[in-house]
Amino acid sequence: MSVSIRKNAYTGPVKAVVLDWAGTVVDYGCMGPAAVFAEVFREQGIGVSMQEARQFMGIEKKEHIRNMCALDSVVNAWQKQFGRLPGEGDVDKLYERTAHLMVAAIAGHADPIPGVVETIDTLRGMGIKIGSCTGYVQEMMDVLVPAAREKGYSPDAMFCSSDVPAGRPYPWMCYLNAIELGVYPMAAMVKIGDTITDIEEGLNAGMWTVGIVKTGNEMGLTIGDLASLDPEDRDCRIRAIRARFEGAEAHYVLDSTAEVIPVIEDINSRLSEGDQP
């Protein structure tokens, strides 16, 4: 087997995409995990809004809980409820409950987002490998992966936050995908996700990045709820989410992963001209 040594900018085509799961490929609106986080705190008598529950989506789930426990609203409510500040022992207990509820919830949120399975088939027809990563841990993916497979989605590689020393925005899961898929350099790979930490992860890995607006956590609505919004309200929300992704320096911003084929073609053109992520 011949091995190429990189001395100049990579000018070949995209070789692989690395996709997030909930809100990017399955679970339109990223509804499953957000509901679980809200329920876990509610059980402790601590009310959190869905916006607060979604605020740290994309990172490893225990770190997500730790960050929620540091929110002023949660700190104040915890102090009132328990007469003390939330500590690491509380984080451990909340995470244990979250893991249990998350496993139960995931199986019911494995439906692929419309058009995504067909898009992935097209990517494979272009010779592109399909990687994936997630803020979920292995016990959660043990439920989600087979459930998604039954519904038509099965990536070539899958890594989760429990596979690496630290989750997003660190690039480790993307690097593991590159190793598993046998793809390099990182400029030949595209990271697609629905959270700011997805974009940060891809940028840190030296990849092209694509932010997903309508189907993901940033929007946080089901298909029906999104369709029922007043058009002016919907357009305002879309503009705000696009601005956040652009502020995070995503290379591209799309409504859905189902729209990614023209982006791949554009990246191929840019790479051929010597452009790099």
Go through 47-61 and write b for each residue having 16 or more CB atoms within 10 A of its CB, e for each that does not. ebeeebbbbbbbbbb
Query: CA 195, CA 253: separation in Å to the nearest integer?
Result: 11
Query: CA 259, CA 127: separation in Å to the nearest integer?
Result: 18
Annotation says 93 is catalytic: no
> What are the tokens at 177?
């995908």
Give yes or no for a contact between 123 and 101, defined as CB atoms under 8 angstroms apart. no
Instruction: Reduce the DSSP state of residue 172 to 3 states and report it.
Output: helix
The residue written with tokens 């003390």 in the block is 84
Q: What is the DSSP letter of 185?
A: -
Q: Catalytic: which of 15, 61, 62, 191?
A: 61
Annotation says 129 is catalytic: no
Where are the extended beta strands (E) located within 95-248?
A: 129-134, 159-160, 189-193, 208-212
At 17, give phi and psi (nearest 5°).
-120, 145
Q: Catalytic: which of 15, 20, 27, 191?
A: 20
Give yes or no for a contact between 18 and 277, defined as CB atoms under 8 angstroms apart. no
> What are the tokens at 147?
């459930």
Residue 198: closest CA among 92, 47, 57: 57
Order of all β-strands in the sheet with 208-212: 159-160, 129-134, 16-19, 189-193, 208-212, 252-254
Residue 255's region, left for phi above 0, alpha for psi from -120 to 50, else beta, is alpha
Residues known to be catalytic = 20, 61
